[in-house]
Amino acid sequence: MKDITEQLQKFGLDAMLFSYMNNIFYLCGFKGTAGQLFVTRDDAFLITDFRYLSQAKEQTEDVTIIDIANGEKAVFDKLIKEYNIKKTGFEQSYITYEKFLQLKKIFEGTKLFGVKGTVEEMRIVKTGDELKLLSRACEIADTAFETVFPRIKEGVTELEIAAMLEYEMKRQGASGASFETIVASGKRSSMPHGTASTKPLKSGEFVVMDFGCVFGGYCSDITRTVAVGDISDKMRDIYTKVQTVQEEMLPLVKPGAACKAIDAESRKMFKTWGIDKYFGHSLGHGVGLDIHELPNLSPKSPYTLEENMIVTVEPGIYIEGEFGVRIEDTVKVGVKGAERLTKSDKNLRICR
């Protein structure tokens, strides 16, 4: 169980209730899909139901397992009294208003305090074990892309490509996709999050594939854009510009760099070509237990990079009604710049 004493003291809390399963996993190792972690200044309690009791005992240390069979209120009434809890924090980003009303009844007589980012801040810099899992997740995604690439051809549907990518990732040991696989071709490629459809690929089109997997609880994220048959000079030119920006940003991803400054550099390059208006999302985001987590490479990001943070670098140009191009790698922040965890070839590849 990771120590959160500092976080409790920071907010003046007697206890903290965690409900987001990825945060619970990070803190105590429990991989179930239902449960709550209640941490006081002295002890930690994992509250779950019959389905997960044995699993919880196997996966956690220094945590008391409590069966919720007698109801939430009975469990918390006992803990509040025993530990003289006056002020309890809860994860405000992950509970519904309905759940909040339930908590008010359960913690009647104590003060509830909404907290944001308590564990997320702890998760930003990855440990050695986390880096190994992230590297493997990226390796699986790379291999899936290289395996599927020869099957990408005119007439194959976007959904078929998505299915092939997801199958290949699971075949290698991934527990599943890290998000809904994006495969968008032709005019649909100008949609940054154009999830796969029944549209068949046609010659002269780009195909944007944004996908990743979960391995050991950790995510990968990669985007590759390929061409089907012969494409126009304009398409080739835009692809080259996106690739240039992506590769120019990688050396900037190093300790001490301001996230917003790196994002600004990418926009500056696109502006020199007069196409910055077609780049409407952030340059990148953190990756770990969640596919989107801190820090963000965005115009308003307050974060400065540190060694062993994991981020994506994913510039893109999206011309509505025509086509889109995105190239994305998941990278580790290294002393000399980004160390790519996704290593598939980024040069323009033609499917025939």
Phi and psi torsions of 57, nearest 5°: -65, -35
Point out which residues pair with 229 in neighbouring strands.
none
Q: How confident is the model at residue 34 (pLDDT cuts 50, 70, 90)?
A: very high
Question: What integer pLDDT is reported at residue 352 of this predicted model?
Answer: 87
Task: Residue 273: name the closest of 317, 312, 232 by CA.
Answer: 317
Structure tokens at 59: 């996966």
pTM: 0.95
Average pLDDT over residues 272-287: 98
Is residue 292 classed exposed, middle or buried when 0-12, 13-18 and 19+ CB atoms within 10 A define those classes? middle
Alpha-carbon gap, residue 194 to 181, rounded angstroms: 9
Q: How confident is the model at residue 308 (pLDDT cuts 50, 70, 90)?
A: very high
**Contact of 330 with 138, CB cutoff 8 Å:** yes
Kindly state the percentage of the chain with pLDDT values over 70: 100
Average pLDDT over residues 261-288: 98
Q: In the predicted model, what is the mean pLDDT of the chain? A: 96
Question: Hey, what domains does the chain have and what are their CATH numbers?
Answer: 5-122 (3.40.350.10), 128-351 (3.90.230.10)
| Bridging pattern class, strands 213-215 and 284-286 | unpaired
Task: Residue 37: name the closest of 10, 60, 7 by CA.
Answer: 60
Q: How many residues does the chain have?
A: 352
pLDDT in tens, 79-91: 999 999 999 999 9
Question: What integer pLDDT is reported at residue 135 of this predicted model?
Answer: 98
**Contact of 295 with 301, CB cutoff 8 Å:** yes
Question: What integer pLDDT is reported at residue 229 of this predicted model?
Answer: 96
Structure tokens at 161: 């490509």
Alpha-carbon gap, residue 350 to 67, rounded angstroms: 57
Q: How confident is the model at residue 70 (pLDDT cuts 50, 70, 90)?
A: confident
**Helical segments of 29-127, H only:** 53-59, 72-83, 97-106, 118-122
